Chains A and B, each alone.
Chain A
Amino acid sequence: RRLSAHICKELEQFVDFLDLRTNLLRKMEINVVEAEKRTGKNTVNMQETYTVYLIETRPAETVPEGGTPATPDTLWRRYSEFELLRTYLLVTYPYIVIPPLPEKRVSDAYLEGKVKNLYKFKFVWHKLSADNLDPDFVERRRGGLENFLLRVASHSVLSNDEIFFHFLTEGWRERVLETGFQDKADSRLKSLSAMFRVKNPDKRFTALKHYCDELNTVISQLLRVRARVADRLYGVYKVHGNYGRVFSEWSAIEKEMGDGLQSAGHHMDTYAASIDDILEEEEHYADQLKEYLFYTDAVRSVCRKHELIQYELEMAAQDLTHKKQQKEELATGTVRVFSLKGMTSKLFGQESQEQRESRLAALEQSIQEGEEAVKEKNTECQEFVRTAWEDIERFKEQKDKDLREALISYAIMQISMCKKGIQVWSNAKECFNKM
């Protein structure tokens, strides 16, 4: 089985190579390069300030030696437009794990981190203002939005979507509204929030949902603890800065020891200052984890959609069975299933042969329609399962690869931090030796 899956992958790659299923990213370079503040009137005619992001696209072609790359096409989009795009994709491709967007609002944890460090050490790690216009937040969001676009553009199915193409290049609003996806979105929202129970759940999807729940929990936990660890580490480094000051003061009353102490003090200051960059870098790791945290929602969404389809199939099958039973009873005269008509005929006398035959005919029609519906629904379900599972396998591989790389880059960050530490303390030791 492993072998055949492997062969399939090879074929897929070959097909991609032949450009039969073009990957948009091969044709086009996409960057979200900048962010800007804008003010304007919103839908209720109130002044509001919001941020727009500059999307740059240019054809992906090799630039000759010494040559300049082509001027990119650019346009500005705000966060709500990204949201709209994603909703469109969700509705249009319910069997695909749609890449997530970065956070919409500044979270409480983010704010907490800022306030704590401001007052604790009087060193400002991040400035206190932390609304959606906060420059640090905006910058992180910019990166997240670019990542979103790249994910969509490198997806074999999503990248071929016309609306997506227009989002990147020209007026897309009218087009997307034309698709009428809003109605689909509303009904989808309604159905997904409805409570229903599937009688025979697909084991694979159940297991997947369970895994997603676990992953969501563990990544949330990891992000929380990592933030606390970073907070504490910040404290350790910053307190060392106090050595700098006291060594300097002490060196003033010393003769031979003075120089050594003074320079060692400078190194302690350097040590204390180094934590800012270290933690800033680590935020990238947190962002990578966060993306997969949000991805779990996207996967759960696919599972839910499958459940809905399965449920609809079961309902359709149940409905068909019910109708068949009714027909049988009508034909044989036995009443097994309660029906008002049956009741009334019992109470008020049998119906005429004509009436019975017309009812039978109607039922027959209904049964035929029902069988059609079940067949359709079955096909839909099977198709959904096939395509969804294909994308889920793709997603799983992507997740394993991305997270492994994230762990490697995290380890590299830690090594870099250790090296910096060794450097500073070695320098300080040299100064102490000269005391």
Chain B
Amino acid sequence: MSVGAPRGLASSGQKPITEILHPLSAAEEPLSPGPDVTVTVGGDKEVALTNGTPMETLSPASASSLFNRLQLDDDLEADGRDLYASMETRDLFVTVDDPKKHVSTMETYITYRVSTKTSRIEFDLPEYCVRRRYQDFDWLRIKLEDSQPTHLIPPLPEKFVMKGVVDRFSEEFVETRMKALDKFLKRVADHPVLSFNPHLNAFLTAKDLNKRQGLALLTKVGESVKHVAGGYKLRARPAEFCAMGEYLDTFSLKLGTIDRIAQRIIKEQSEYLTELREYGTVYSSWAGSEQELRRPLEGVAACVTTCCGALEELSDNMSQDFLPVLREYVLYVESMKNVLRKRDQSQAEYEGRLEAAVLRKQEDRTPIPMEVEKCQDKMECFNADLKADWERWQSNKRQDFKQLLTGMADKNINYYEKCQAAWESLITLLQDRQTEDKTSETN
């Protein structure tokens, strides 16, 4: 990696390292300009296109600076509020659709079509269309997590499903999963930093993803190898990050409660539906023994049946659209908590090393080593990225829940509208018969 002139880390909007006063002493010789903060990714292999051309693994700092080059003025904080770049400035559109089942001798699996439209120069063509399976999305997520440790990576839907319990190939399951994958990809594509990640580029464009075997070795959960497992203890978390943590804890509790309530409603509705079906059949059977009342009773039975259909639709929608999105947010919260933890680790590491270095300096005048500054960089980068991502996440969350809840309200309104229409047409039928009888009487 080239050591360029010290320049501000765009993502943090902070001053260059040289200008930041060392917390412990001001009189010391100026710190030598640190290199671009690079994070060595343990065990990472280079992404390669099928034609064998290696690609540079960009460091997050240079990715940020790349972004900085493109965004001439505003710092990221301001941009965070403009979450989804307005349609005019958005230049990368992705969609996941068209699920297809593949059967081979070894296994059966589903692939999805991933379509891309873009005007970015990082892409050779303006349009791409590839097929990807869940494994590939998983690969992308891991790559992103590893290459952008300071950023919040959106979650994927659950990987493993109990074979006996859930039908992995049922229409509903595939549909639900596809929507979640689409959401995941869109979130990545809308992220000002993640969307420029070369792994994303490969994912969207390569004919065959050449995923390396090393995949299995990387753990997804918990601390990644690159962070020094040193058991550094965090002394004092800045208030804003504390607040984030508390918010996430409460928020995930509330999400859990809402999930349980929704499940309960679905259950109650299902039991209601069972009884309602029988209710309709009793009217039908009654109609059989009547003459004048036969049509009215059959009308009621038909009405009840219509309401049953509408109710079933409502419940299915809650199961397939509402609950999965809710659950995905629980995963999102977990991801965010994870990032907070990593940030804490980063701060702890820095503080720990700094303390050790200072002590040594006091003993034998050893200068503060480079690693300490690197740690400081890392931490500050982390803090800035996290804050920006937090704002973005909050905005997204607001939009997503607004959409989710208005959707739920809409479905309920639809349900009642359908039922109302059915009963209203029944009344017309019943009252018509009444006037019919009256006119026939006077004839």
Where the two chains meet, the residues of A that have a C-beta atom closer than 8 Å to any C-beta of B are 6, 211, 214-215, 218-219, 221-222, 225-226, 228-229, 231-233, 235-236, 239-240, 242-243, 246, 249-250, 253, 256-257, 260, 264, 400, 403-404, 407-408, 410-412, 414-415, 418-419, 421-422, 425-426, 428-429, 432-433, 435
Contact = CB atoms under 8 A, between A and B. Distances in A.
Contact of A421 (B264, B292, B416, B426): B416
B423 A414 contact: yes
25 contacts: A6-B441, A218-B282, A221-B282, A225-B278, A225-B279, A229-B275, A232-B272, A239-B261, A242-B261, A246-B254, A246-B257, A400-B293, A404-B430, A404-B433, A404-B434, A407-B430, A411-B424, A414-B303, A418-B420, A421-B416, A425-B409, A426-B413, A428-B405, A432-B406, A433-B402
B354 interface: no
Nearest to A251: B254
Interface in B410-438: 410, 412-413, 415-417, 419-420, 423-424, 426-427, 430-431, 433-434
B250 A243 contact: no
Nearest to B263: A239
A404 B293 contact: yes
A264 B250 CA distance: 19
B76 interface: no
Contact of B417 (A214, A215, A418): A418
B149 interface: no
A381 to B, nearest CB: 27
Contact of B282 (A222, A233, A404, A421): A222
A227 to B, nearest CB: 9
Nearest to A422: B416
B401 A425 contact: no
B433 A429 contact: no
B258 A218 contact: no
A236 B269 contact: yes
B363 interface: no
A246 B434 contact: no
B83 to A, nearest CB: 13
B241 interface: no
A69 B359 CA distance: 104
A418 B282 contact: no
B427 A412 contact: yes
Contacts of B293: 400, 403-404
A412 B275 CA distance: 21
A10 B254 CA distance: 71
A275 to B, nearest CB: 12
A429 B32 CA distance: 58
A3 to B, nearest CB: 10
Name the prevailing secondary structure of the A interface residues.
Answer: helix
Nearest to A226: B279
B430 A225 contact: no
Interface of B: 247, 250-251, 254, 257-258, 261, 264-265, 268-269, 271-272, 275-276, 278-279, 282-283, 285-286, 289, 292-293, 296-297, 300, 303, 398, 401-402, 405-406, 409-410, 412-413, 415-417, 419-420, 423-424, 426-427, 430-431, 433-434, 441
Contacts of A414: 303, 419-420, 423
Contacts of A404: 292-293, 296, 430, 433-434
The interface centre, meaning the residue of B275, B401, B409, B417 with most chain A CB atoms within 10 A of its CB, is B409
Contacts, number: 138
Per CB-CB distance, the 6 closest pairs between chain A and chain B, nearest first, are A429-B409, A418-B420, A232-B272, A421-B416, A432-B405, A400-B292
B426 A411 contact: yes
B272 A253 contact: no
Contacts of A243: 258, 261
B423 A415 contact: yes
Contacts of A253: 247, 250-251, 254
B398 A257 contact: yes
A422 B275 contact: no
Nearest to B403: A432
Nearest to A255: B394
Nearest to A264: B405
A227 B420 CA distance: 21
Contacts of B441: 6
Given A211-B289, A407-B300, A426 B409 contact: yes
A222 B251 contact: no
Nearest to A407: B296
The interface centre, meaning the residue of A226, A231, A264, A425 with most chain B CB atoms within 10 A of its CB, is A425
B272 A236 contact: yes
Contacts of B300: 407, 410-411
Contact of B419 (A228, A242, A418): A418
B275 A232 contact: yes
